[in-house]
Amino acid sequence: MLLIVGYVIVLLASVGTYAVHGSLGALWVPLEYLAIIGLTIGYLVASNGPRSLKAVLGAIPSVLKGSPYNKALYMDLLAMLFEILAKVRKEGLMSIESDVENPDDSPIFSKYPSVSHDHHVMEFICDYLRMMVGGNLNAFEIENLMDIEIETHHAEAHFPAHMVQAMAGAIPAMGIVVAVMGVVNVMGSVGAPPAVLGKMIGGALVGTFLGILASYGFVEPIANQLNQKVDEGSKIYQCIKVVLLSSMNGYAPQVAVEFGRKVLYSGDRPTFSELEEDLKARKGK
């Protein structure tokens, strides 16, 4: 939503202020718009393979959605991890084997749909719980593997943002290409009256204007939003990692989820009292 608000402000500050002392009709040069759009699409297609292009196009609409990573989600996540670890502490690691192997049918995971509906998060949790059940790896080995997987996930998730950022950097150059083509056209009409030449030169300069405005006013904000969403999405994996490793190192479930709570961003982090009261309330149900 804020992206749209920002776009409106950009248009008012650029086109709106220009309209006070200029003619908006002078900015309407359809072929300039068409050329820049075509060059941008060509750049995007030429820079990506089918899988990468699909990832970029799939990520862009997400900037219009709010972030799911909020205090309520993390409260559910910590409560879910607490419950699964409490079961392990009480009944042993083998007691969660069915939950891990069939998370969709797990009575514990099904109580937390906000978390269990995220396939990647559940896969991460179940994979490492499965390793814990197997008992073949120590905490140091699992921590190293977690770090590598989180780093891989982070790099993969950042790719659409990096691609959109690169596209934002290329669009001003494309505007210059369009402007140069317009100037070349003007050079072929040097014998025309000054009023005609002035209009043609103004039309050529629209290409530069469009390229810069589209890049810094519209495309780069999308890249920034995508980067922020990736950073927000990575925090949940770090939280899970800390909780599971704390449990492997012998800490009680209550302490393990407290460690996980401390990893979260301050704006999304429940207080100690909020988490404690929430766990007690869920336990009483």
- 150-166 pLDDT, tens digit per residue, is 999 888 888 999 999 99
Mean pLDDT of 210-238: 91
- Containing 237, the helix (H) or strand (E) segment is helix 220-248
Burial class of residue 78, CB neighbours in 10 A (0-12, 13-18, 19+): buried
Q: At what angle do helices 253-263 and 220-248 cross, to 10 degrees?
A: 160
- Nearest of 195, 190, 173, 179 to residue 31 by alpha carbon: 179
Comparing CA positions, the residue from 39, 2, 56 lying closest to residue 210 is: 39
pLDDT score recorded for residue 68: 85
Say what the pLDDT of residue 284 is: 61
> Largest Cα–Cα distance of the chain, in whole Å?
92
- Residue 260's CB is within 10 A of a number of other CB atoms, namely 27
State if pTM tops 0.75.
yes
Distance (Å, rounded) from C-alpha 141 to C-alpha 131?
Answer: 11
Residue 86, pLDDT score? 92
Average pLDDT over residues 117-143: 86
To the nearest whole number, what is the mean pLDDT of the chain?
87
Residue 101: DSSP 8-state: H
Q: What is the tens place of the pLDDT at every residue in 65-91?
A: 878 889 999 999 999 999 999 999 998
pLDDT reported for residue 226: 92
